[in-house]
Structure 1
């Protein structure tokens, strides 16, 4: 369909129709138009994130994201928040390892005001000294609170061991020293380099048509730099396989993190790996690890595994928490189950039930406007195509036992795990 304001292409999708909207200025968004409820949800992402933090100033990207709605244009932090509250507009920003993300939610009748405030936040953030220091203090207080938290310590040590001397190895929110080292000039430089039209992804769901959205896209994002100036993040494979790190924390329970090589998101074996992970530890109450670690032995309240396909790395991860005196036994059971899955593969019944669950539960990711918008942004970031929602369940259904055996070799075939334990584990 062609509109005066810009071209759109309608694509059949589940649960609703997705349109590719391109503004006159060339800014693209994926739109699900839905007028049943007078709300608009927008999700945005800029490729970059914490991986772009300057050397020695880790946490800068997270700090920048936290400051974007703390005053912009003519409004200081208090005035900006008052403008949002007046119209019940929700606007939030955050950062992960690979992207800066933003979320906007507004009543349709306040769309003009909401989009105007979003434009100010992205294009004219004030980064006032008072706001910078207040948000910095909040981040530092959180870091101090986490200084003896075993979950946080285990996660930090795990990523540091998996990705040494690499941006992925640094904590997203930084450290006490690195956050203190971030100056206003660092934040402004990061914003100018990282928030651009070339690395922008946008999705919108709700009571807005394509022509209106196209107009707002240019108004909101048109003043951003055309091209991002990002530092190249090198590809890396997880390091430390076969190593075990114990972080000493005086707590009665040990937190265990483990992992190994993964499979990239657009690799043909990713979907078999996804199904395999569900069988091993991703299937909550039905997974092998849940049955063996919790149900049969009572070693832990929960245990899980997942796939982590970052832009420049891929790994599988897992974790549990158990009494210090049972940490060695828990880890041994986890290793044994991974070994069995590698040697024997899943049963036909496990494969059938995993596919049935993963296909049937997929629709739960699309039961609100915000969820739909978030899913679309992630699909776009991963380069899966605007028709991925239509194709996804067929991809799951097509996974065979041979596919699972191949994926198992790629995930677990090295025979070693990177293991980090925070606590005082007996026998490790």
Structure 2
């Protein structure tokens, strides 16, 4: 549907419950923070609802609570996101608060200082998490010359440099209607949604400032990076270029990944590393389709003394999938899970809106939800074999180890985790 003001949205109308979910994204907004002010988009996302218009932070949050409404914003690598959940009877007030947050944010200094302090604390806390350290080191090595390699939340050096004027400039310059994608679900008619869209988003700039991110390819093939940490276990993270969401091989890659390491206790990595040898509590693989790059990753942890052995087995399974593909039984089991589990994600009004938004962002077509099972069921063993050979090359893996691993010779050591 398209609003009277020309704003397009997808809607799944459902009046069984008096709840409305609205999800939106500004594609690419905030993907490139100004040099030296990394974390600007995330700080803006965290302060947009800390007071707007005539309402200071306490009054704004109190008003949301009074009308049983949740409103949140989030900055990610590929866009800036908003989420609203409210009762049908309170929709008008909820939509007005969302409008105020995006068009009249206050960015009061006390709110900025408080939120910035919380973000800095979260960064300090995460530095003690070896899984976080591994991810940061991996993305830094994979994307050394691209914003994907940075920390969305910013750094200890950059965050103190961001002021209210920077946040105001972000809100005015980045939240343009030309980048807007919207989806809704719940107890609202197309006509009422159209009015709401114009009310919430009509006052935003027609066009956003800044150029979109460029496509990139992950770097670091064949490297093994060690981040020393005085721990009894080693965290392992390895990966290489994967498939983007619009790739014709996406569904075959999804089936392949389920069998390789995405299927929990039934996956090959879990069977070989945990069940047969007891080297880890859990080893997994997963696809990461970013807008401008893609990865296929595997991760797990093991005791330091067994790190070399565990890593070797993971790489062997990488190669076995590329060389041999999968069996008919594995193919059938993967299809059963991937088709059968998907409906379980539609467990709330907001979840439905989020899925609809992602389908729209990925340009999968308005009939995607009806066709998805057929796409998966059409995958053959030959498809998976071809995709596995295309994607999986153990010699080209970028590997990051955090801990004190034995039996591994790193090509580089990074003392600060990235």
Give the TM-score normalised by the residue count of structure 2: 0.95
Contact 1:50 / 1:58 at 8 angstroms: preserved in 2? no
- Consecutive unaligned residues of structure 1, counting only runs of 5 or more, are 1-20
Match 1:121 to one of 77, 101, 124: 101
Match of 2:403?
423
SS at match of 2:177: coil
Match of 1:9?
none
Match 1:157 to one of 121, 137, 146: 137
SS at match of 1:177: coil
For 1:279 and 1:223, locate their aligned partners in 2 and report how far apart those are by CA, in whole Å: 48
Match 2:188 to one of 208, 228, 247: 208
| Matching of residues 123-138 of structure 1 within 5 Å | 123-138=103-118
Is residue 2:388 matched to residue 1:408? yes
SS at match of 1:300: coil
Match of 2:354?
374
Match of 1:29?
9
SS at match of 2:379: coil
| Matching of residues 18-417 of structure 1 within 5 Å | 21-413=1-393, 415-417=395-397
1:157 to partner: Cα distance? 0.4
1:230 to partner: Cα distance? 2.8
1:406 to partner: Cα distance? 1.4
Residue by residue over 1:263-286, the C-alpha shift from the partner in whole angstroms, topping out at 9 and shown as x without a partner, is: 121111111111111110111111
Contact 1:261 / 1:410 at 8 angstroms: preserved in 2? no
Q: Segments of 4+ in structure 1 off by > 3 A?
A: none
Residue by residue over 1:191-230, the C-alpha shift from the partner in whole angstroms, topping out at 9 and shown as x without a partner, is: 2222111111111111111101101100110000111223
SS at match of 2:9: strand
For 1:246 and 1:108, locate their aligned partners in 2 and report how far apart those are by CA, in whole Å: 53
1:49 to partner: Cα distance? 4.6
Match of 1:13?
none
Residue by residue over 1:285-327, the C-alpha shift from the partner in whole angstroms, topping out at 9 and shown as x without a partner, is: 1110011111111111111111111111111111101111111
Contact 1:272 / 1:403 at 8 angstroms: preserved in 2? yes
For 1:218 and 1:224, locate their aligned partners in 2 and report how far apart those are by CA, in whole Å: 10
SS at match of 1:198: helix
1:138 to partner: Cα distance? 0.5
1:181 to partner: Cα distance? 2.2
For 1:334 and 1:380, locate their aligned partners in 2 and report how far apart those are by CA, in whole Å: 35
